[in-house]
């Protein structure tokens, strides 16, 4: 489908979904965003839903400003996936051992590594720039510098919520490895620090929603935020790279006779800021729950833990600021899902998937998400499907 244009306060809102199906609070958030004086354009993805401050599934292009809430607290959160030389026939009937090995090697929830992962010990891991990355931690906000040791131990860990590690198969039977995570606690603390600073600035006092407070170009506050933002985005990318390397090593050990080979890893952020040019104007484009889908860009759009995911290639639609959805998108809150569904419902909806089926992850039940097939059908002008994946193992935090 193409987009529907909805009137905004200062600029129109381009929506790749039926506006009538979007919850009222989310629509109000979008209208609030459309009132920002620095806004150049606003695109809304089909997985749109209510978020803190800024709506999840929104692409916000600003001229000379950036809104920390439009990135979210998990700076650089995103996906990585890689196709292997294994096929479904290589997988054992009982996948519980493989799931257990993943959980042993990659800490989940609030877990961390006892000792920081040494990337030099990981098979084929590119370590160029690793020392420089950690040296640049000394330049981040003073308020979080004491978190260095924890940040190093959390590098290569999953976290909780909707983060996951999966083994999938595609329609040809090929096995894929896929994971979803971000910048862990250090990204959260940096985000919350800068959101608080932004809310205190004089130019933000008259906004409709103070959670939409921005930093303005050529100010000390913007310079400090950009430094910490881009470092946290790099942390998230490195975090996924470390996890993927650990994941690949697990698979090599579990299938030694297969001599498993891996294609190039596909990786993409879906909570981040990028410097891009549209309409001849240099802009700061914030994607909160959206991926870059420029012409030829590979991306990953996951469904819920029982419905499968898509590997896609961007079509370069500039009306959407070269973006696409980041997943299926929630249709109910975590609290609502816990009230509505039971562990028995979860077991029923995740039949055939080796995963947790207890009350601790009921809020991630497929029924709490929008149908991924419908979401994909609404963005055929944004991406083309390269592969359709179905998970057979899913590790949650």
Please identify every residue annotated as catalytic.
Answer: 326
Angle CA(198)–CA(268)–CA(32) in degrees, nearest 5? Answer: 35
Question: DSSP 3-state assignment of 324?
Answer: strand
d(CA 282, CA 60): 13
d(CA 233, CA 87): 33
Residue with tokens 């921005």: 214
Q: Quickly list DSSP for 136-183.
A: GGGGS-GGGGGGHHHHHHHTT---STT-EEEEEEETTSEEEEEEEE--
d(CA 179, CA 300): 10
Q: Quickly list DSSP for 369-386.
A: B--HHHHHHTTTTTEEEE
Q: What are 180's strand-pairing partners?
A: 79, 164
Asked if 394 and 180 count as a contact pair (C-beta separation under 8 A), the reply is no
Residue with tokens 């193409």: 2
Pairing relation of β-strands 383-396 and 354-355?
A: parallel
d(CA 79, CA 240): 8
Compute the residue count for the chain.
397
Q: Which two tokens stand for residue 31?
A: 């209208």
Asked if 79 and 287 count as a contact pair (C-beta separation under 8 A), the reply is no
């Amino acid at each position: 489908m193409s987009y529907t244009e909805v009137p905004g306060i200062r600029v129109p809102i381009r929506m790749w979904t039926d506006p009538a199906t979007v919850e009222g609070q989310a629509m109000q958030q979008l209208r609030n965003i459309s009132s920002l004086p620095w806004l150049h354009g606003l695109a809304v993805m089909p997985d749109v839903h209510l978020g803190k401050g800024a709506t999840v599934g929104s692409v916000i292009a600003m001229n000379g400003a950036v809104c920390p809430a439009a990135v979210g607290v998990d700076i650089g959160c995103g996906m990585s996936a890689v196709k292997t030389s294994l096929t479904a026939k290589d997988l054992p009937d009982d996948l519980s051992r493989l799931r257990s090995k993943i959980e042993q090697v990659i800490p989940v929830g609030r877990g961390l590594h006892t000792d920081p992962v040494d990337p030099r010990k990981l098979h084929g891991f590119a370590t160029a720039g690793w020392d420089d990355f950690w040296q640049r931690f000394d330049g981040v906000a003073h308020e979080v510098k004491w978190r260095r040791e924890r940040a190093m131990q959390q590098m290569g860990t999953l976290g909780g919520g909707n983060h996951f590690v999966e083994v999938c198969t595609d329609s040809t039977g090929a096995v894929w490895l896929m994971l979803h995570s971000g910048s862990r606690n250090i990204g959260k603390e940096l985000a919350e620090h800068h959101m608080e600073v932004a809310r205190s600035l004089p130019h933000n006092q008259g906004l409709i929603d103070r959670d939409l407070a921005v930093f303005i170009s050529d100010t000390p506050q913007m310079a400090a935020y950009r430094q910490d933002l881009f470092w946290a985005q790099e942390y998230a990318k490195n975090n996924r790279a470390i996890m993927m390397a650990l994941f690949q090593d697990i698979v090599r050990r579990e299938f030694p006779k297969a001599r498993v080979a891996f294609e190039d890893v596909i990786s993409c952020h879906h909570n981040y800021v990028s410097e891009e040019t549209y309409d001849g104007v240099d802009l700061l484009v914030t994607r909160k729950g959206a991926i870059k889908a420029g012409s030829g860009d590979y991306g990953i759009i996951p469904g819920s833990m029982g419905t499968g995911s898509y590997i896609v290639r961007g079509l370069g639609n500039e009306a959407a600021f070269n973006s696409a959805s980041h997943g299926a998108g929630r249709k109910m809150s975590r609290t609502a899902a816990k009230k509505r569904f039971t562990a028995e419902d979860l077991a029923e909806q995740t039949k055939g998937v080796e995963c947790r089926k207890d009350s601790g992850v009921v809020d991630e039940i497929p029924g709490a998400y929008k149908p991924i097939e419908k979401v994909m059908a609404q963005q055929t002008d944004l991406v083309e499907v390269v592969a359709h994946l179905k998970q057979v193992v899913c590790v949650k935090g």
